[in-house]
Amino acid sequence: MPIKQAILTFIICILSFNATNFASQQTEPNDKEISEVFNKHNVQGTLVLASLDNKSTYIHNHERANKRLSPASTFKILNSIIALEEAIIKDQYEIIKWDGNKRFFDSWNKDHNMKSAFKVSCIWFYQELAKKIGKENYLRYFNKFNYGNKQIGDDITTFWLGKELKITPLEQIEFLKKIYKKKYDISKKSYLILEDIMLVDSTDNYKLYAKTGSTTQNGKGHGWYVGYVTTKANTWFFATNLLIDGYEDLKKRKEITIAVLKKKGLI
């Protein structure tokens, strides 16, 4: 076969392969079904829903899905990993004593271990871990995990709650996928503990792993619900971010996510 003809044949094969791959993926940048759920709950924001096999991705509000925002307490996913990997805490059951200072939520005002603190998003517990982890370790892990904008700022105990550390909903999805696939070079123990503390619901048909997060002032700000759901057919990853206009909107983070999963026939 002449060289020119061989090159032309090779190019055609490559283009055909890429076209086939593209056709096999279903991506909806402004999904109508998800929009209906948002309208029903009368709230603004974004939701990204992606399958493990990369064949389907549904997005409501593509612009916000690409906007970097404070991770708030969703950072507890990575924060837990770092604390475990650096042996700051031995497991999900080791207790840190409450200092006696009363905080906003009554559920925070007691001794906690990682499992209980993760569930109620107890800030002081993770702030104690942060003091021991230190800035250098955080920067090292941010590079290792390619997490968001990798910014810390001056206060080691608040950088994930304000203007420093930021991550997009789409970046949250990629982070969660790599955790699920065990792509990061961390111990099996850390993976198992993370799976344990992230488990929210377990039924005969699915298991839901998730973390809430919110950063608000006087009840206004934004809130997260990120995680994944495993079914017999597939695993789906979600990142929901809502504009919060009053504390009542916080419950909508999970409500909207579950409603979308049901509407798509995934649970």
Q: pLDDT digits over 257-266, tens only? A: 999 999 999 9
φ/ψ bin of 121: left (φ > 0), alpha (ψ from -120 to 50), beta (otherwise): left
Burial 125-148 (b: 16+ CB within 10 A, else e): bbebbbeebeeebbeebbeebebb
Q: What pLDDT score was predicted for residue 17?
A: 39
Q: What pLDDT score was predicted for residue 115?
A: 98
**Angle formed at CA 120 by CA 171 and CA 199, multiple of 5 degrees:** 60
Look at 4-13, 86-95, 247-256 and tell me which has the smallest mean pLDDT. 4-13
Is the confidence at residue 172, as pLDDT, over 70?
Answer: yes
Sheet holding 220-231, edge to edge: 26-28, 56-60, 45-51, 235-245, 220-231, 206-217, 199-202
| Rounded distance between C-alpha atoms, residue 236 and residue 234, angstroms | 7
Look at 73-77, 82-86, 104-108, 126-130 and tell me which has the smallest mean pLDDT. 104-108
Is the confidence at residue 97, as pLDDT, over 70?
Answer: yes
Q: What pLDDT score was predicted for residue 12?
A: 37
| Rounded distance between C-alpha atoms, residue 32 and residue 126, angstroms | 38
Answer yes or no: 73 catalytic.
Answer: yes
Using alpha carbons, list the distances in angstroms from residue 100 to 88, 106, 124, 157: 22, 12, 11, 18
| Rounded distance between C-alpha atoms, residue 91 and residue 197, angstroms | 11
Express each pLDDT in 10-58 by its tens digit: 333 444 434 333 333 455 568 999 999 999 999 999 999 999 998 999 9
- Residue 120 identity: V
Domain map (residue ranges) of the chain: 26-263
Is the confidence at residue 218, as pLDDT, over 70?
Answer: yes
| Rounded distance between C-alpha atoms, residue 211 and residue 238, angstroms | 11
Is the confidence at residue 136, as pLDDT, over 50?
Answer: yes
Q: Which fold has domain 26-263?
A: Beta-lactamase (3.40.710)
Whether this prediction's pTM lies above 0.95 is answered by no
Marked catalytic residue, from 35, 51, 70, 73:
73
Q: What pLDDT score was predicted for residue 219?
A: 86
| Rounded distance between C-alpha atoms, residue 103 and residue 122, angstroms | 10
Helix (H) or strand (E) holding 189: helix 188-198
